[in-house]
Amino acid sequence: METGKASYEELQQEISQLRAELEEANDTIEAIRTGQVDALIVQSENGHELYTLRSADQTYRVFIEKMTEGAVTINREGTILYSNSQFARMVGVPLSKVIGLAFAQFIAKGYKDQFGILQQKGWTEDCKGEVKLVNRDGGLTVQLSLTTLELDEGFSLSIIVTDLTGEKETQRKLKQQNDQLEKINYALELSNHDLQQFASVASHDLQEPLRKIQMFSSLLRNKTTNLPEDARMYLDKIIASSERMKQLINDVLNYSMLSSDQLKYEQIDLQRLLQELTEDYELIIQEKQVKLVFEELPAIEANKGQIRQLFQNIISNAIKFTRDHVQPHIVVSSRRINARSIDAHEQFDGPFCRISIKDNGIGFDEKYMANIFSLFGRLNSRDMYAGTGIGLAIARKIVEKHNGLITAHSIEGIGSEFIVVLPVARYKS
| 173-231 confidence digits (pLDDT tens) | 888 888 888 888 777 766 666 666 666 666 666 667 777 787 878 887 777 777 788 88
Same domain, 40 and 88: yes
Same domain, 274 and 417: yes
Same domain, 111 and 243: no
Same domain, 254 and 340: no
**Tell me, what's the pLDDT at 267?**
94
* CATH code at position 422: 3.30.565.10
168 located within any domain: no
pLDDT digits (tens, 9 = 90+) for 58-88: 556 677 777 788 999 999 999 998 888 889 9
Please name which of 351, 328, 329, 326 lies closest in space to residue 340, comparing C-alpha atoms. 351
pLDDT digits (tens, 9 = 90+) for 354-387: 999 999 999 888 887 877 887 655 555 454 445 4
| pTM greater than 0.85 (yes/no) | no
Banded pLDDT at 34 (limits 50, 70, 90)? low
For 198-210, b where at least 16 C-beta lie within 10 A, e where not — what string? ebeeebeebbeeb
Mean pLDDT, range 139-151, rounded to an integer: 87
Same domain, 127 and 185: no
Q: Tell me how far apart the alpha carbons of residues 389 and 373 are, in angstroms, rounded to a whole number.
A: 9
The total of structural domains in the chain comes to 3
The boundaries of the domain holding residue 227 are 178-262
**Tell me, what's the pLDDT at 246?**
74
172 located within any domain: no
Using a CB cutoff of 8 Å and minimum separation of 24, what contacts does 362-368 make?
362/321, 362/322, 362/323, 362/412, 362/413, 363/410, 363/411, 363/412, 363/413, 363/414, 363/415, 363/416, 364/410, 364/412, 364/416, 365/410, 365/412, 366/409, 366/410
Same domain, 147 and 207: no
Banded pLDDT at 328 (limits 50, 70, 90)? very high
Average pLDDT along the chain:
80
**Tell me, what's the pLDDT at 233?**
83
